[in-house]
């Protein structure tokens, strides 16, 4: 039972190029979260997606960043026209379908991938 997979593990881009980060959730998981970890910082929530639907993008920068989770295939975090400040580790987490109701049972664990380290030259 493979865990959450992210690729590439390391990505180097020059300023102005596009970066595409991929996340394959665990089998059976239909929810994906993206987090960004800047150097010497904790992880910051970016976006939460279900298949074909963005649930919460309150943590996404307003420009250049977009995310999708298509019906088939991995979730993609796309950064257009990268700048040096985008250099960070990007983590993806997945969780299974969230059930409504049942106060103490309604939490679904987030399983983290190994991260993609983006370096912008």
Partner 1 sequence: AQKVTQAQTEISVVEKEDVTLDCVYETRDTTYYLFWYKQPPSGELVFLIRRNSFDEQNEISGRYSWNFQKSTSSFNFTITASQVVDSAVYFCALTPLPYSGGGADGLTFGKGTHLIIQP
What residues line the site for partner 1 (CB under 8 A)? 33, 35, 40-46, 48, 55-56, 58-59, 89, 91, 98, 100-101, 103-104, 106-112, 114-115, 117
- The pairing of strands 10-13 and 116-120 is parallel
In angstroms, what is the minimal distance from the CB of 20 to partner 1? 20
Nearer to partner 1, 55 or 76 (CB): 55
In angstroms, what is the minimal distance from the CB of 81 to partner 1? 25
Give whole-number Cα distances, 11 to 20, 26, 98, 110, 116, in Å: 9, 22, 32, 24, 7
Nearer to partner 1, 15 or 44 (CB): 44
Nearer to partner 1, 41 or 52 (CB): 41
Nearest to 77 by CA among 114, 24, 40, 2: 24
**Token digits of residue 25:** 């959730």
In angstroms, what is the minimal distance from the CB of 33 to partner 1? 6
Peptide bond just before 56 cis, omega within 30 deg: no
């Amino acid at each position: 039972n493979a865990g959450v997979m992210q690729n590439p593990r390391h990505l180097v881009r020059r300023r102005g190029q596009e970066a595409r980060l991929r996340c394959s959730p665990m089998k059976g998981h239909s929810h994906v979260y993206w987090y960004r970890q800047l150097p010497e910082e904790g992880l910051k929530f970016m976006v939460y997606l279900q298949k074909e639907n963005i649930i919460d993008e309150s943590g996404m920068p307003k420009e250049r960043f977009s995310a999708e989770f298509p019906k088939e295939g991995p979730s993609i975090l796309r950064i257009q026209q990268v700048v040096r400040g985008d250099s960070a580790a990007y983590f993806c987490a997945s969780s299974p379908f969230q059930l409504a109701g049942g106060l103490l049972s309604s939490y679904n664990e987030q399983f983290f991938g190994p991260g993609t380290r983006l370096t912008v030259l």
